[in-house]
Homo-oligomer: A and B are copies of this chain.
Amino acid sequence: MKIRTATEADRDAIWSIFREVVAAGDTYALDPNISREDALAYWFAPGTRTYVAQGDRVEDGVATPGKPTASPEITCARKILGTYILRPNQSGGGSHVANAGFMVSEGARGQGIGRAMAEHCLSEARRRGFGALQFNYVISTNTAAIRLWQDLGFDIVGTLPSAFRHPDKGYVDVYVMYRSLLEDQA
């Protein structure tokens, strides 16, 4: 798997993942019926850097056992498994703190793609001079994400009571998570 800056050619693949994640409605506070145009405007906003995780093989992440392998004609179209964005969380006096958002294709979960993108993101954020990385809105029921962020050194620094209306679980808390990037520049 390779993580690289997204290009225009990735827009269809990103929209496909974005739509899937947002339609589920349990990890992002975004309109589940957001349009392609609004979704891509958000994911490719000015000041936002957009990345994709691309599989090594065209069938990566497709997970259809028994299906014949891809035909030679399409082996160049390597599958986009996930995408993330990195941007300043605020302007002015708050621009040294980064914010990021991650999405992994449903068929590609449980393979460490989120972790690989998060590690790439921490390295990119540090390289671009950010002093910290903040997640503004980690829904408390998203335990896989919370475990991953804690494992990567993030702390829960805030709890927003009942701030998210979960499609199955009703009103649930939301966490603000934060990690300084300074201590490991030594």
- State the A residues within 8 Å of B (CB): 22, 25-26, 28-32, 34, 89-97, 131-132, 134, 136-137, 139, 157-167, 174, 176, 178, 180
Asked, given contacts A97-B163, A136-B136, A163-B134, whether A30 binds B92 with beta carbons under 8 Å apart, the answer is yes
Contact status A178-B164, CB under 8 Å: no
Contact status A162-B28, CB under 8 Å: no
**Complex CA–CA separation, A2 to B7 (angstroms):** 51
List of 10 A-B pairs having minimum Cβ-Cβ separation, nearest first: A158-B158, A29-B94, A29-B90, A93-B165, A158-B176, A30-B92, A31-B91, A93-B164, A29-B92, A31-B92
Q: Which residues of B contact A89 (CB under 8 A)?
A: 163
With both chains docked as a complex, state the minimum distance between the C-beta of A99 and any C-beta of chain B, in angstroms.
11
Q: Output the nearest chain B residue to A94 by Cβ-Cβ distance.
A: B29
Asked, given contacts A97-B163, A163-B132, whether A92 binds B22 with beta carbons under 8 Å apart, the answer is yes
Q: Which residues of B contact A30 (CB under 8 A)?
A: 90-92
With both chains docked as a complex, state the minimum distance between the C-beta of A155 and any C-beta of chain B, in angstroms.
9
